[in-house]
Amino acid sequence: MTQKTKTRLTLGSAAVALLATGFAAGPAAAEDGAKVFFMLPNSTTIRFERRDAPLFVAAMAERLPNAEVIVQNGEGDPTRQQRLVEDALVQGADLIVYASSDANLAAGALLAAEDASVPVMLYEHDSVGGRAEAHVLFNALAVGQAQGARAAELIEAMDRDIVRVARVMGNQGEYGTAQYEIGQDQFLQPLIDAGKVEVVCEAFTPNWDPTLAQTFAENCLTRTGGGVDMFLGMNDGTTGGSVAALISQGYGLNEIVVTGGQDATIEAVKYIVQGWQDNTVFKDLRVMAEGAADVAVAILDGDDLPAQWINGEVNNGFMDIPAAFLPVNNITIDNVADVVDAGLYTWEQLCDGAEETDICKENM
């Protein structure tokens, strides 16, 4: 952690925050109606528009009723997102909550905010090469480990000398993608080294685009003549692309395993109920909204970052950013009820079109 960051975390008054960081945010900003810009990364990862934005807006409204939260979307274009940040600064932003469209091309937006003395809180996606006051994210390494452990469990259960795996990676260069890969490899690499697994296709998915993931999966199936036993993704968009490829090419349920989901989208959980997809990592976005709102208010008030949330740090090549790592839960058919118990979906929603499955007969 840089000395500047240590000062920011240790000394919580608005005056010291201004001296240490150049940011003038303080109690007056919150009381008078702060302007908070929530910059989403894209529309292809559907959770951001569908759930993150409304949950964060609601959480902020509970804490700062006079604050204005303006949601904007970079649409996967870092140049567009930087323009949105620069425009937000012109409009008098007091805080930028920033989920980068491209982590490796975010430094310009962070520099613009720093030059304008406006603090930035990173949300889920990392941003390389610039200053941020905090980073609220789900534990990306734990996500990858959950995906890898599940994949290894499924591979070991297959009655095959060699299991042929196609890896559908996330957006190249992102902190999350790198951590998911590291976590998966902790379980996959020993199987590769032992000759149990052969990776037959592998590619990153620009902007996490499900359409590109589907194209990759279709090409892999064609190139290998259907010689794939498992598609291993990194989120529900990439696994959904694999499922779409299987359906489009006439494969049936349970012919090829699709695993490595993340985000617990309604589509993914329905696929689990139907049998097309094996898992999804459930990240409770209600918890994320609460944590992000608490951290945002602390930054606006010039207070110390809330100790109940901050439990680590992320180095983005510029500084060690105080981080709130949030817990995750791997969902398979065995514990799919967890998402219902959490209030995310109802059995009626999950079983729409799958009423004849055993799990729906048991719960409808």
Q: What is the CATH number of the domain that holds 200?
A: 3.40.50.2300
Asked whether residue 107 is domain-assigned, the answer is yes
Asked whether residue 356 is domain-assigned, the answer is no
Residue 260 sits in which domain range?
Answer: 140-282
Torsion, CA 313, CA 317, CA 319, CA 324, rounded to 10: -20
pLDDT in tens, 232-263: 999 999 999 999 999 999 999 989 999 999 99
- Residue 69 shares a structural domain with residue 88: yes
- Residue 64 shares a structural domain with residue 166: no
Q: Would you state the pLDDT for residue 9?
A: 24
- Residue 273 shares a structural domain with residue 157: yes
Q: Checking DSSP bridges between strand 35-40 and strand 68-73, what pairing results, if any?
A: parallel
- Residue 176 shares a structural domain with residue 262: yes
3-state SS assignment for residue 307: coil
Question: How confident is the prediction for the chain on average, in pLDDT?
Answer: 91
pLDDT in tens, 179-192: 999 999 999 999 99
- Residue 104 shares a structural domain with residue 92: yes
Helices (H) and strands (E) in the chain, counts: 16, 13
Asked whether residue 209 is domain-assigned, the answer is yes
Q: Would you state the pLDDT for residue 33?
A: 86
The whole model's pTM is what?
A: 0.78
